[in-house]
């Protein structure tokens, strides 16, 4: 959302000929783009560098930007998604959030925070990091940036229905992973659940909280 009720369309047109106006757009969106990239790379230095590249690319091409009913923010996110995809390809990195980076994610509420801030973050992160890149994108946009299915669809180039379907498939995958781990824990002890098993059981019983976020 644009700050202070600024007329974004007018600001974008002005930014095509005025770098100061583009600077205003930068201030409006830089944190959101940085957060998205950071959650995908889990590296602050790389996130800062890629964020700078996103806005450099944007200022280079803003003269050709046309308002076709898709928010300007979606255009920026698409540039960011391409940047991140190229970053992984060029560096042969796996598209995941390392568990050891979990403590660095505390400045924003990621998908794991939807369950409980203090509940086995590493388990949820371990499940999320196994997902394909597009599903990680969906979770970041939904739970970190708090975007609607319509807005996410505009960014990912999919319909609202397709996003909702993808979300439910993603949620099913996460539930299955947690359930599988819980079964393994149950098999490893005959005298009640282990500590990890108790946490995973809690996650399964409370997974309806994630279901509520799909609407």
pLDDT tens per residue across span 102-123: 434 444 444 444 444 444 555 6
Mean pLDDT of the region 150-167: 93
21 domain-assigned: yes
φ, ψ at 110 (rounded to 5°) = -85, -175
∠71-24-88 over CA atoms, to 5°?
60
7 domain-assigned: yes
**How does residue 129 score in pLDDT terms, banded at 50, 70 and 90?**
confident
The answer to whether residues 102 and 121 touch, using CB atoms and an 8 Å cutoff, is yes
Q: Note the pLDDT of residue 24.
A: 94
Q: Angle of helix 160-187 relative to helix 149-156, nearest 10 degrees?
A: 100
- Give the CATH number of the domain where residue 42 resides: 1.10.1740.10
Residues 162-206: pLDDT tens digits?
Answer: 999 999 998 888 778 767 766 766 666 544 545 555 455 445 544
Number of Cβ atoms within 10 Å of the Cβ of 30: 15
Query: What three-state secondary structure class fits 129?
Result: coil
- Give the CATH number of the domain where residue 129 resides: 1.10.10.10
**How does residue 126 score in pLDDT terms, banded at 50, 70 and 90?**
low
Are 65 and 164 part of one and the same domain? no
Domain of residue 55, residue span: 1-93
Q: Note the pLDDT of residue 117.
A: 44
Q: Note the pLDDT of residue 187.
A: 66
Residues 31-48: pLDDT tens digits?
Answer: 999 999 988 888 889 999
Mean pLDDT of the region 49-73: 92
Q: What is the DSSP string of 8-71?
A: HHHHHHHHTT-HHHHHHHHHHHHHHHHHHHHHHH--HHHHHHHHHHHHHHHHHHGGG---SSS-
User: Between 38 and 1, whose confidence is greater?
Assistant: 38
Please count the structural domains in the chain: 2
* Interacting residues of 11 by C-beta distance below 8 A, sequence separation 6+: 2, 21, 24, 25
Cα 110 to the center of its chain, rounded Å: 8
Q: Note the pLDDT of residue 185.
A: 61
Domain C-terminal end among 63, 93, 123: 93
**Measured distance CA(81)–CA(206) in Å, rounded:** 31
Domain C-terminal end among 37, 60, 93: 93
Are 76 and 128 part of one and the same domain? no
* Interacting residues of 183 by C-beta distance below 8 A, sequence separation 6+: none
Q: Note the pLDDT of residue 175.
A: 79
Residues 13-24: pLDDT tens digits?
Answer: 999 999 999 999
In this prediction the pTM is 0.67
């Amino acid at each position: 959302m644009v700050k202070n009720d600024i007329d974004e369309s007018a600001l974008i047109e002005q930014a095509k000929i005025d770098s100061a106006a583009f600077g205003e757009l930068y201030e409006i969106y830089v944190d959101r783009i940085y957060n998205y990239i950071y959650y995908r790379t889990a590296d602050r230095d790389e996130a800062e560098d890629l964020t700078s590249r996103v806005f450099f690319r944007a200022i280079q091409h803003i003269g050709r930007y046309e308002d076709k009913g898709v928010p300007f923010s979606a255009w920026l996110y698409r540039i960011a998604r391409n940047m991140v995809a190229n970053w992984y390809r060029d560096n042969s990195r796996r598209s995941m959030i390392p568990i050891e980076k979990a403590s660095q994610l505390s400045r924003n509420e990621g998908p794991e925070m939807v369950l409980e801030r203090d509940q086995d973050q590493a388990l949820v992160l371990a499940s999320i990091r196994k997902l394909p890149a597009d599903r990680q994108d969906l979770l970041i946009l939904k739970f970190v940036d708090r975007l609607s299915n319509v807005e996410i669809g505009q960014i990912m180039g999919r319909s609202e229905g397709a996003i909702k379907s993808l979300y439910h498939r993603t949620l099913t995958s996460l539930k299955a992973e947690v359930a599988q781990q819980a079964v393994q824990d149950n098999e490893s002890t005959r005298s009640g659940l282990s500590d990890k098993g108790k946490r995973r059981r809690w996650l399964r019983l409370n997974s309806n909280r994630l279901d509520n976020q799909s609407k």
